[in-house]
Chain A
């Protein structure tokens, strides 16, 4: 039976599309629930065991997903005017978002491989460029000074052993630290 809703909302597929996030969370909860069930073999006799709490939380998570799906279903039925269905957040530029997320992931990989100094400098340049800083001189100056100041604070003052990178990059970072009098 088709869902009786406002215009453009008649198909159950559109409802399923609306709750795609909820369905994803529900599926993951179900998967982890099956994993948690495997922990029951570690339960001492007469005790709840290590599987009890994760299973309980996942069960309630699935119930939460059901409630959310129900809320979405009833809100669809209530809504009659299209203007009521305004988005919570303003529209996003998904290309820009994807690049920014990619840069964050690359920054973490870079910290491990080429060291914090180089990774941070490159990350600042690229991220600020993607975020909309157009002029080259302020971009490079901010990234350069920012990296130096951060290194001074965390390496020289706080003595935080920020990653130096692997192989040649480790040697390069040490060389740059020496030039900057950080070690």
Chain B
């Protein structure tokens, strides 16, 4: 029987191997692998949508020994977003890199990274997750250095070292769990964990490692240079997917492993770090001189919003309200994924057409590429959190819950963050209104511009107006 879970992880890996053997056909093979992988991921989502809970034991080794993959609503939601973004980035990359030498290096590394991402979303045990985290960190750092500049190499080296530090910390947590509970399967460990020093230490190590990888303030220092100096399609993947995968694991551990162990104080700590990230990231984005650096700092801020949900989750007992919060958190993560990917792809096109991305001097460039400017604008709408983007409704739920719980201090944080975001987005968009002559066509190069525009439209319109299916997928419809 064909197993869609295994396919979603194996297809990109096969693609990477095939390209390594036949580098001259890199683009064709890469695009084929991208299409096949996305199809497999959507198949998994359809299974979950139909009420299934697919699970597969690789090689026939059952729990607790073997490696298992499984999908639930949360995994399926993130998997779908990551694969749609992945496909769009792949199509974009065929045009962006063309047939240059960078293209030959890009494709195998990107498909390895894709393998790691799908593996992270679907893995059912802690050690398998560790392997995928390492694969993700290594391939991401290598991709970040692709542009070959001195800054990119430096930033990627730092990224690599931070990633290794994170992985080692994570491994320590895994060892502790295995010693204490004799299993690595997520479900089994979750059942065995009881509040106590061992559980707290293990939880702190696992989540702490992932916080480093998700660049939560003040552990964000490595992110802006790494994301800003990578080639644009790589930046898109790093910002939209790689940090999001780490946040996904934090959420999963928080909800499953640490249910009953995580205290309100821990939630409050995460929330405060998130608030600091929102304010600091937005402020730095507002001051950034380069478009891609702006986008990178914006990611720091957007990750912060996701962590604002944790103190509210910790204070809300299981029930419809908590489900609503989780839905909003996922909605925010997905919307940001689409928006940031679209934003980076568009920023890359601006950089390509002008040869630089200094915001102050963008004038004519933005004007001459209407589709790209629209992509920046629509993605910007989602980053600010204006309607009808998914971010708007997620923020609505976040603030409503905060007010109901009496934690009103999150309200000014979110609103100041929103206004700062409006500031940094419109700082870019204002450059689009110059007295340059009108360009001839809306779209100049369909292969690179259309994916960026579609991602931005998905973020600004699709995720907001079509939020309902997400509640069905997550099983939080109430």
Q: Do A and B come from one complex?
A: no
Chain A residues packing against B (C-beta within 8 Å)? none
